[in-house]
Amino acid sequence: MKVIQGLVLAFVGIVALAMGLLVMTVVAPTSGAIARADGQVQGVPAGYQQWLDKGRAECGEPELTPALLAAQIDAESHFNARAVSPAGALGAAQFVPGTWAMYGRDSDHNGKADPHDVGDAVMAQARYMCSLIKQAKSSAISGDVRELALAGYNAGWGTVIRFQGVPPKSFARGETYNYVHSIMSAMKRFEAPSPVQASGSGSGSGSGSGGSGGGGSGAAALRKATGRLGTPYAWGGGSPQGPSTGFCDDVNGYAGGRCLASTTTGFDCSSLVQYAYWPAVKLPRTASEQYAATAQHPVARADLQPGDLMFWRHGRTGSIYHVALYAGSGQVLHAPRTGRLVETTQIGSAAPAGDYLGATRP
């Protein structure tokens, strides 16, 4: 973690000090990088893989991926477990005593909690990031929750609240802004291809509108949609280019008796799906059109893969009113309704179970 000197002390004071944010020097990377094509992470030094996986599993938030943690460690220390900054930040994840006291544990069970131990450091980093992601989700701040969490890790959550998002380049000479965006860009480097992507095969190998199915496009779509977690719902809003303001009809788009959609920049359920798959698969705009375009590739509930589309309709013969992306582990990622944010939730909480129509694979 890095101290934003001067401005941080002025703006966040005790909050920033408590979070233990420090400036670190660039240190030489360790050697022995390994690569794994398991759909999780690649290009990390030996000894990190298992802890990146465990950190993700302990957190349970889908946004906290091993690749995100790896990119962050690379930015903090270039995977140097013995790194020490001039301000006293220690280890691969650059913890100072105050923050370490809150999140450090003897995760590798060697008898001591040590920020220089890879296992202890990575697990503490994952706990800290997990707590920040949860704060981002529960806040009213819009934006990518991963970026908000990274900004909180670097500059303190109080700074994120102050700016209602990632601080701009004008804050602290761009320290936090550049930290966040460099990690988000570097994350792709650490994302290993999934088995489906690596082999180019899988169930549901037919083609959808504008692209081929079963070739890994579902996993890529889910990753893209994950970047929009926390974005507001806007009836009629959103496009392949991103969120936009929506509109109200006689029924939809209202909250508290006023038209919220026309002043909200966001997605509705089907525009989020369209955005996620575009341009690899150019799905049509509405949920019913998306079902019609992909119905030739149905997927049984037991065979769901990340990125598959799940549909709900009114009763047994009514119109389709909702679509969501399957996110794995019995969860979906979707834009739920007016007044809510793009989220992940259990399938049973997404819509009434009796309205479930089925799933397809674009």
The helix/strand/coil state of 289 is helix
Answer for the pair 112, 39: CB distance below 8 angstroms, yes or no: no
The region, left, alpha or beta by phi > 0 then psi within -120 to 50, assigned to residue 315 is left
Which residues form the catalytic set?
A: 76
Buried b (16+ CB within 10 A) or exposed e, 203-234: ebeeebeebbbbbbbbbbbbbbbbbbbbbbbb
For residue 196, the surrounding DSSP H or E stretch is helix 195-199
Pairwise CA distance, residues 226 & 220, whole Å:
10
Answer for the pair 39, 193: CB distance below 8 angstroms, yes or no: yes
Pairwise CA distance, residues 197 & 14, whole Å:
47
Answer for the pair 23, 86: CB distance below 8 angstroms, yes or no: yes
230 secondary structure, DSSP code: T
Q: Got the DSSP string for 202-229?
A: -S--SEETTEESSSSHHHHHHHHHHTTT
Pairwise CA distance, residues 20 & 14, whole Å:
10
Answer for the pair 298, 318: CB distance below 8 angstroms, yes or no: no
Pairwise CA distance, residues 256 & 229, whole Å:
24
Pairwise CA distance, residues 258 & 280, whole Å:
37
